[in-house]
Homo-oligomer: A and B are copies of this chain.
């Protein structure tokens, strides 16, 4: 008898974004004339940069000729892309990596989920609350939790509340935490951590032989000089942290698919009996056995982001989105909301202070303003009462959405 993985049955109803989709579709079906503005899913709207498009076409052309055709590529991705990452994303910030420590992949969603496979089932996992739902869902799917409780928390996960009260900067866990998901700039709150805060985590991890799973997918949106771009800017972090980066938001690759993960060679995990073992070796074995790399033309397109032209173009796109964030920040501040994020991240995180739950605000905005955002509670219990707006939208739509929201009673 083929038995299912019953851990899946512990998962709460729908993954957040399909649930938003369902409610929007239902509303649209019963109100066909409503012009709904979608700022819920953090999906980009501007086209790929010209340099990226050119390189993408060149890559396709190479696939058309036998002399330049590419079959299976190198197991960790092409050197040209890993060299560009190493030099531009790290070396320029004083972080020395070898290209062997960089693994190209088709997305940070995949990597942040799959990474748990190389760790034992008994690890306790800590997450910021609220957080990107993949961390918790994949922890549940892997059998590392008990059931979900009345308060929305799964048994066995260490939740670290991030609210306005602690400036969205969680305290160190009092319980044991073996694997710690940290996301900075943060999705969904849009907030960042200082070097001192990250250093605190690095020493906690060292002291406890824990590993930090550092999601830096929104690194490109950092505008303030003092904000660290990589956890490896903290001394000793290479011994305790894996870093996830993505081109999805950086360069509009949500539909093109390319990302990377850094696994330093000095990073160690432990057998039950306490023997150290290379995490790099395990991830290499996982990826070379269960993954077959990213399309060659896509890797070629991604490398173009690092050319002088590419950099300029990508920066302009990011500036466009961040101006959207500024407009939203201003509007919600005027409306009396408490407003966070939106300065070093493409997300604006608001709290109405009115006692409305996140889903109540969602339904109100959908039905009265025809505007879709993301309910904060969808990211975890501590997100209740909060709401996320994504700056990935056309300017005119952002302006229109803010106009509409100003007209309804909130």
Contact = CB atoms under 8 A, between A and B. Distances in A.
Interface in A112-132: 113-114, 117-123
Contact of A15 (B41, B138, B289): B289
Give the interface size bracket for A toward B: 35 or more
Contacts of A209: 1-2
Contacts of A15: 285, 288-289
A18 B208 CA distance: 35
Contact of A45 (B45, B69, B257): B69
A113 B290 contact: yes
Nearest to A47: B69
Interface string A34-69: 000000010111111010010011001101111001
A63 B44 contact: no
A148 to B, nearest CB: 15
Given A60-B56, A72-B43, A296-B255, A290 B5 contact: no
Contacts of A327: none
A134 interface: yes
Given A69-B47, A255-B70, A2 B211 contact: yes
A193 interface: no
A269 B72 contact: no
Nearest to A1: B209
Which of A252, A269, A295 has its CB near the most chain B CB atoms (within 10 A)?
A: A295
A5 B72 contact: no
Chain B CB within 10 A, most for which of A53, A252, A292: A292
Interface in A1-48: 1-6, 8-9, 11, 15, 18, 41, 43-48
B45 A5 contact: no
Given A57-B57, A106-B292, 12 more contacts: A1-B209, A1-B274, A3-B120, A3-B178, A4-B271, A8-B286, A18-B288, A43-B72, A48-B69, A53-B61, A69-B252, A141-B285
